[in-house]
Amino acid sequence: MADLIPFSAALRERSSSAHSSSERSGFMADLLEGAGTREDYIALVAQHWFIYDALESAAERMRRDPVASVFISDKLTRLPALEADLAFLLGDDWRDRISPLPTTRAYVERIRQVGATWPGGFVAHHYTRYLGDLSGGLFIGRLMARRFGFETNGIGFYLFDEIADPRAFKEVYREQLDAAPWDADEQERVIGEVLRAYRYNTELFEDLAAAKAAAVA
């Protein structure tokens, strides 16, 4: 099986139902369909800050790894854009006004763990976030801009100024996945970690919905 279809295609196929669950989560669906508020959007941006802080710190360490470093590109770096978005959305004291939800804490802990010890696991988390950001993320950014009247301030996270052709970028990324020197067992472990990353993302939407319900109760 692994010999018949490229690893990137197997990964996409094996994670497609986890992707659908994430995509259909009520919190995200509400935001996309217009039932979510500006505060909901800001709550999501805040959680992204914790996640990308962990992911991009791990990337700094993984730059020294021969396999993981191939995937790391400054063009993807999101933390400065998230910080500018939060300053715009919450004010200069944004850092004092945000805190991680329980799933974010667990997600960040996992990224730190694999980011320090396991290149394949790091790539799994890198893939799940950045390929998503370069796919549905572009559409979500445009929709949020329209919905809440942002131009570029507030949605900088979704704007990849240095990636003119996301489709071509993703194709190269998939070729790199196919070229990674992982045997069948390691490929399975990487797919397992991608599924775990999707679970964190889906559970984060559940946490955000619960926090919102608690705030209005």
From 59, 19, 71, select the one nearest 182 (Cα to Cα): 71
Q: Is 187 near ligand HEM (CB under 6 A)? A: no
User: Is residue 202 within 8 Å of 22, Cβ to Cβ?
Assistant: yes
Nearer to ligand HEM, 31 or 86 (CB): 31
Q: Is 19 near ligand HEM (CB under 6 A)? A: yes
CB of 217 to ligand HEM, least distance (A): 25
CB of 142 to ligand HEM, least distance (A): 11
From 30, 55, 150, select the one nearest 141 (Cα to Cα): 150
User: Is residue 159 within 8 Å of 81, Cβ to Cβ?
Assistant: yes
CB of 200 to ligand HEM, least distance (A): 8
Binding letters toward ligand HEM, positions 72-111, x by CB under 6 A? ----------------------------------------
**Three-class SS of residue 173?**
helix
CB of 128 to ligand HEM, least distance (A): 5
Q: Is 48 near ligand HEM (CB under 6 A)? A: no
Nearer to ligand HEM, 77 or 87 (CB): 77
Which residues within the stretch 28-47 sit at the binding site for ligand HEM (CB under 6 A)? 28
**In angstroms, rounded to a whole number, what is the distance separating the alpha carbons of residues 187 and 177?**
10
From 173, 97, 105, select the one nearest 133 (Cα to Cα): 173
User: Crossing angle, helix 102-117 and helix 184-216, to 10 degrees?
Assistant: 160
Measured from each CB, the residue nearest to ligand HEM is 136
Q: If you ran DSSP here, which 8-state letter would residue 152 be given? A: S
Which residues within the stretch 105-144 sit at the binding site for ligand HEM (CB under 6 A)? 127-129, 131-132, 135-136, 139-140
For the CA atoms of 128, 62, 77, 11, the dihedral, rounded to the nearest 10 degrees, stands at -20
The residue ranges that bind ligand HEM (CB under 6 A) are: 12, 19, 22-23, 28, 127-129, 131-132, 135-136, 139-140, 170, 198, 201
